[in-house]
Structure 1
Amino acid sequence: MADDRPQDPTTRHPRPEFPQQEQEHPGWTGPMDPPPDHGEESYRGSGLLTDRATLLTGGDSGIGRAVAIAFAREGADVVFTHLPEEEKEARETARLVEEAGRTAVPVACDIREEDRCRELVDRAVAEFGRIDVLVNNAAYQMSQPDGIGAISTEQFDRVVRTNLYGMFWLCRMSLPHMRPGASIINTTSVQAYKPSPHLLDYAMTKGAIVTFTQGLAQMVAGDGIRVNAVAPGPVWTPLIPATLPDTAEFGKQAPLGRPAQPAEMAPAYVFLASQRASFITAEVLNATGGTPLP
């Protein structure tokens, strides 16, 4: 049962130091210590997204799983992507969505490929007949503490194609299937404003997402479609032990002294997708644990 009483945000969830841990990319939820909280036991819906047809990328774990759970408990059906090697994680997300009484359609899809993005949108439209909410959440990063010389062209291409090309294609392909009242929500990052040198290429793409969000929002405002973004700070997801060399003090730099749990990000996406945000577009909702952003 959710506990909605006021709680100290600095101690509500685990604080560093964490056990040092490493995983192969893309990372898995099960081995993480402490285990991430996606809202499995805490998120309670109130009908904010009843019957919304949602397309979500990167829904197998982390923020994506938390968003899928929250959307389902708010009444939405969800088509979500995962990488082929993340099928077990995707099944768990699907189980949680279906447990909420909504439709879950996991799709193995690498959004770096334009044809796969087209097939994904076609699948969502075949399932629901329309797209009410598009959440561009899938992302790739890899720490390179040795500087720009260590960022290979292969890595740079993967980061840009995952974080930018996929988002661009999915927006372009989804818009013809969106009606007035629909919403696009992109995931940017605190890295867009305060880039860590070891995440240079990733931070660059997150800055581009802010610009893209603001420009697209103006382009489609007259069609009655809103476009916003969420900018998380440090969040405890499988991407962290899979891509960063030091997890022991992850999130300690945030003024709240800890990383967010994925469950703490989901309400921002619910709000932006709902009619409660009907006059909000071209905005970035910062959820950084206290790091001031412009």
Structure 2
Amino acid sequence: MKPSETTQEEKRHPKEGRPKPPFSELPQEFPGREEKMKVRPDHREQSYPGHGRLIGKTALITGGDSGIGRAVAIAFAREGADVVISYLPEEEADAQETKHWIEEAGQKGMSLAGDIREERQCQALVEKTLTEQGRLDILVNNAPGPVWTPLIPSTTPPEKTKKFGANTPYERPGQPVEIAPLYVFLASEESSYVTGEVFGATGGRSPA
């Protein structure tokens, strides 16, 4: 889907229409693989509408292979940005799927493996992006939260995974697609008068 194309998604009550516990996921080794999940996260691969809000921009997204990072990468590409994603080597299959969706949107996609806990890897990511893309406009330091991603079955005990999200007012975990539009807003000119703010996408729970 290209930036000029739009779709009308049916409105729904926030408690309904998305996966809710109990979940029956099998434990995975860190960092987890999306293709092994019984309940796959929702990134709106088929339906996110682009509006050209990031045309001409280049974005670098850490952890862009799956989960929140994949949803943001797809949204950015549909909005007209070229997208570079970083990921751990063991996430290669997920990373290539994300790259496919970036290119499906008609944008340049680049995937770079490495461990960003190492400073030299962070420097290499930026340098490679600038060399290959010629610019870097948007940096997303992606981190997990109360959202349904492969990190949940790979870092959470099975008994907690089964009930994941049940203690929120929505009685379910967030989906990556519910987080991505906030990233688009912050990366676009629509947030030109926003600085130093903390936004909570927490399913109704007040940030501690």
Q: Is the Cα contact below 8 Å between 2:25 and 2:37 reproduced in 1?
A: no
Does 2:193 align with 1:279?
yes
Deviation at 1:4, TM superposition (A): 2.9
Counterpart mapping for 1:237-248 below 5 A: 237-245=149-157, 246-248=160-162
| CA distance, structure 2, for counterparts of residue 243 and residue 258 of structure 1 | 18
Corresponding residue for 1:22? 27
- One-letter amino acid of the counterpart of residue 154, structure 2: A
Q: Matched residue of 2:199: which SS?
A: strand
- Of the three residues 82, 86, 91, the one matched with 1:86 is 91
Unaligned segments of structure 1, at least 5 residues: 140-231
Worse overlay, 114-123 or 90-99:
114-123
Query: For residue 169 of structure 2, what is the aligned residue in structure 1?
Result: 255
- Cα distance in 2 for residues equivalent to 1:255 and 1:138: 22
CA 1:24–1:2: 2 relative to 1, 3 Å: farther
Measured in 2, the distance between the counterparts of 1:138 and 1:286 equals: 13
TM-score, normalisation: structure 2: 0.92
Contact kept? 1:21, 1:247, Cα under 8 Å: no
Contact in 1 for aligned 2:35/2:94 (Cα 8 Å)? no
Is residue 155 of structure 2 the alignment partner of residue 236 of structure 1? no
CA distance in 2, matches of 1:101, 1:41: 14
- Displacement of 1:21: 2.1
- Tell me by how many angstroms 1:107 deviates: 0.2
The correspondence for 1:121, drawn from 107, 115, 126, is 126
Q: C-alpha distance in 1, partners of 2:200/2:17?
A: 19
| Structure 1 contact 237–262 (Cα < 8 Å) conserved | yes
Structure 1 length normalisation: TM-score? Answer: 0.66
Asked whether the 8 Å contact 2:62–2:86 carries over to 1, the reply is yes
Q: How much does 1:35 deviate?
A: 1.1
> Aligned partner of 2:134: which letter?
G
Secondary structure of 1:285 counterpart: coil
RMSD of the TM alignment (CA)?
Answer: 1.4
* Sequence identity (%): 53
Question: What are the superposed Cα offsets for residues 252-274 of structure 1, whole Å, 9 maximum, x if unpaired?
Answer: 11101100111111001001101
After superposition, the C-alpha distances for 1:167-202 in whole angstroms (9 at most, x for unaligned) are xxxxxxxxxxxxxxxxxxxxxxxxxxxxxxxxxxxx
Larger radius of gyration: 1
Given candidates 264, 268, 277, the residue that maps to 2:178 is: 264
Higher relative contact order (CA 8 A, sep 6+): 2
SS at match of 2:68: helix
Which stretches in structure 2 are left out of the alignment for 5+ residues?
Answer: 1-5
AA aligned opposite 1:283: E
> Relative to structure 1, is the Cα distance of residues 92 and 20 closer, same or farther in structure 2, using a 3 angstrom cutoff?
closer
Aligned residue among 46, 50, 55 for 1:45: 50
2:40, 2:10 → 1: CA distance? Answer: 23
